[in-house]
Amino acid sequence: MAAEESNSPPLQPPTAPSSLPQYPEMILAAIEALNDKDGSNKSSISKQIEVEYGELPAAHTTLLAHHLNKMKQSGQLVMVKNNYMRPDPNAPPRRGRGRPPKPKAPLPPDAALSPPRPRGRPPKPRDPLSPHETKPPSVGSGRPRGRPPKKAKTISAAPTATSPTGPSRGRGRPPKVKTPAVAPVEC
C-alpha cells in the first residue's frame, strides 16, 4: 500500500496557468482584435480568447460571463444588442431612469443654509393672544351626527288581539285578494 501512495501524484485543485493575463485584459484584447464596429458577442469573444491563449481553465465560460457583467456595470464596456464594445470617449454619459434633477443655482458665500422643509402639510398657525387651547362651540341643533340608533322594542304584558283599526298586520306585502268570477247576466 505504501508503494501505491508514493507512485500517485498528490491531488491538487486545477488552477489557471500562471502565464494567462487577467480576464478583463483578455476581454479587452479580444474585442480590439475582432475590431467589429457593432461590437462582439460573448461567443466570439470566447473563441478569440481560446485561439489567442490556448489552454484555459475549466470554468472559462462562467468566468468570462462574470467578468463581462462586471465590466459592463463598471462602465469599461457597453452592451448594445447583445454585443460588447468599448464606450465612445466622446459620447455623453448615459442618464439613469426618471426625471433629471433640476440644476441648482450657486449660493453666495455669505448665505446661511436653512434646514430642508419637513414633508406634509404645515400645521395651522396658533393665535398668540389666546391663553389656552379651547374647542370651538359646535354649531347645530345639539343632536349627535348621523342616524340615531334603533330603539329596543318593549313587550307589553297584555297584548290586545284586536285594535280599533283592525287586526294587526304581519310582515311583508299582504296577499292579493281574489275576486269571485261573476256570471254574465242574460237579458
Q: How far is CA 19 from CA 42, 63, 64, 118, in A?
A: 23, 17, 17, 60
Q: How far is CA 131 from CA 52, 127, 167, in A?
A: 89, 9, 66
Q: How confident is the model at residue 68 (pLDDT cuts 50, 70, 90)?
A: very high
Indicate whether 91 belongs to any domain. no
- Kindly report the CATH number assigned to the domain that includes residue 68: 1.10.10.10
Indicate whether 180 belongs to any domain. no
Indicate whether 130 belongs to any domain. no
Indicate whether 126 belongs to any domain. no
Indicate whether 56 belongs to any domain. yes
Indicate whether 59 belongs to any domain. yes
pTM above 0.85, yes or no: no
Indicate whether 33 belongs to any domain. yes
Number of domains observed in the structure of the chain: 1
Summarize pLDDT for 78-97 with one digit per residue, the tens.
888 888 988 888 877 767 78
Summarize pLDDT for 112-121 with one digit per residue, the tens.
777 888 888 9
Indicate whether 76 belongs to any domain. yes
DSSP 96-161: -SSPPPPPPPPPPTTPPPPPPPPSSPPPPPPPTT-SS--PPPPPSSSPPSSPPPPPPPPPPSS--S
Residues spanned by the domain of 29: 23-85
Summarize pLDDT for 119-175 with one digit per residue, the tens.
889 888 887 777 665 566 556 677 888 888 888 876 655 555 555 566 777 888 988
